[in-house]
Structure 1
């Protein structure tokens, strides 16, 4: 799917999710006013965050999809890191607010009513959030969109919270022990706070361009599997994420006698392999190095080289450790 088409589709999806968040927000607050349950209020308060962050996410996806310009030569994808960080911070604040109110209600208990209806509404909204969250995480992973993934994980955490609340509310319903309502709310307020912290931590890592070791290992594995004889060495591999866009830098060692046209062809093949694996979100920058006989000959697998100055000793398997280093490999 072309990048522009993906962007339009993602924007529409986030707009639909914003509308869904508003509907679920109304249902959850309705359940709270019917029951006066502090635990149900925790679910309703988190839905406010769902709606606010849904709006931020919608704008973020729209802005990230804008093409590069003179002011933003790497695109606008970094906005997704800011968006997900804001979402995580708001989630944590909601969790803290839930715990504070729950402690208050432990000290000053309030009567609870119509618990059966509250349980039903919580279960329904939790199921909807779970389905929406699973879809967003899968879609965001396919499009390398941190905003969509963060929004999906938020909905999943909301769904898990709802399930826990249903269990807790069920205990309250059958035992009539009212203080359990606040205890359940404190437990899931803590869970919500921790979820928000995880999202903030991930977004900060992106802003600081922290290496995504799992992503790099995936790329290295593919290059090892489809390695060509002409690719004598690969090193100084770096991957930087700008929203859904991936910027990959590396040094590729080729036979020193290759002309410009031959070298360019090898770079095109490298680009094609990475694009097939990662999709059309990759911008590749390759620095070409000439081989240095006889040291390079020892690890060169090129069988038809007429200028070899040393016998082949062994192939160097590319790994996360040796490909990340800024130096040629040797035997």
Structure 2
């Protein structure tokens, strides 16, 4: 089984267990912050299921219908997961506001904060594993799932701390206030996730740091006539680079081909999962096609 699929399965199992635990304790104590955490974990479970299927599909090789592979399924899952986070956050804010107005007290804060700190510990360990596999495989779906769980770590710890303060101070209005604070925190994370997942779907270019690696590699092996029409994009964990590389008109085809191979090889070593497409162009005598480099450096002048 693919490592990404195994890790996504682990997330599903942990989230299912935490939902049951939080619901039981939330109903018993009457704590809206614990119930909001149960809702949060339910959204995490839905996200984990989406992540599971997206990494399973994205791991399939390219085929006739998807010649560029299935990587964008991971980006789509990231968008769906961010929408789930938005939905959960709005629901938590509404329920917490109702509780704040009604002034209803919770039954047992002691059991509540113990369960919340246990939940935070479990989610921290699982999210750490998810982040590790996501970075190793450059997986947007697992990165989104890890983000869900990491926000759950902070929110569970926050709820636990709030319940502890309620136990010490007997100020029960802290419970819905903490739930609202958690929801606002989750909304902020959802915005960041949505941008990260949506950019590849509209073929936003690679990051400036990645572009710098690409241009430095091209310049290192360039025959001196420059390059132009550099385009980059990302699909899942796959990077795509295409450009026009200008060669002296009298250069032997074999030498030009070897230069292209060197560029492609070094880019692949510097940036994981990178596919490079290079279009060769001959340099005119007046160097009109010399691209980005100084025309005085053109070897065909």
**Counterparts in 2 of 1:149 and 1:218: CA distance versus 1, 3 Å:** farther
Deviation of residue 91 (structure 1)?
0.8
Query: CA separation in 1, counterparts of 2:3 and 2:297?
Result: 45
**Post-superposition CA distance 1:129-175 (Å, at most 9, x none):** 12322332332233221111111111111111122222222222211
Deviation of residue 221 (structure 1)?
6.2
Task: Report if the CA contact (8 A) 2:75-2:197 is conserved.
Answer: yes
Structure 1 residues without counterparts, runs of 5 or longer:
1-6, 310-331
Q: Which residue of 1 aligns with 2:142?
A: 148
Aligned partner of 2:266 among 249, 269, 273: 273
> Which moved further from structure 2: 100-109 or 194-203?
194-203
Corresponding pairs, count: 297
> Which moved further from structure 2: 46-55 or 19-28?
19-28
Deviation of residue 298 (structure 1)?
5.1
The reply on whether 1:106 has 2:100 as its aligned counterpart is: yes
Q: Which residue of 2 aligns with 1:252?
A: 245
The reply on whether 1:119 has 2:129 as its aligned counterpart is: no
Q: Which residue of 2 aligns with 1:292?
A: 284
Deviation of residue 252 (structure 1)?
1.6
For normalisation by structure 2, the TM-score amounts to: 0.90
Aligned partner of 1:50 among 44, 47, 51: 44
Q: Which residue of 1 aligns with 2:162?
A: 168
Query: CA separation in 2, counterparts of 1:148 and 1:298?
Result: 44
Task: Report if the CA contact (8 A) 1:35-1:115 is conserved.
Answer: yes
Deviation of residue 37 (structure 1)?
1.0
Deviation of residue 264 (structure 1)?
1.4
**Counterparts in 2 of 1:139 and 1:238: CA distance versus 1, 3 Å:** farther
Partner of 1:237: helix, strand, or coil?
strand
Q: Which residue of 1 aligns with 2:14?
A: 20
The reply on whether 1:177 has 2:171 as its aligned counterpart is: yes
Deviation of residue 202 (structure 1)?
2.7
Give the RMSD, CA atoms, in angstroms: 2.2
Aligned partner of 1:227 among 220, 229, 242: 220
Deviation of residue 26 (structure 1)?
2.0
Deviation of residue 215 (structure 1)?
5.1
Query: CA separation in 2, counterparts of 1:300 and 1:151?
Result: 52
Q: Which residue of 1 aligns with 2:236?
A: 243
Partner of 1:75: helix, strand, or coil?
coil
Task: Report if the CA contact (8 A) 1:106-1:179 is conserved.
Answer: yes
Task: Report if the CA contact (8 A) 1:45-1:94 is conserved.
Answer: yes
Task: Report if the CA contact (8 A) 1:229-1:300 is conserved.
Answer: no
Structure 2 residues without counterparts, runs of 5 or longer:
none
**Counterparts in 2 of 1:229 and 1:244: CA distance versus 1, 3 Å:** closer
Query: CA separation in 2, counterparts of 1:257 and 1:128?
Result: 65
Aligned partner of 1:90 among 84, 107, 112: 84
> Which moved further from structure 2: 33-42 or 86-95?
33-42
Task: Report if the CA contact (8 A) 1:126-1:163 is conserved.
Answer: yes
Partner of 2:2: helix, strand, or coil?
helix
Q: Which residue of 2 aligns with 1:201?
A: 195
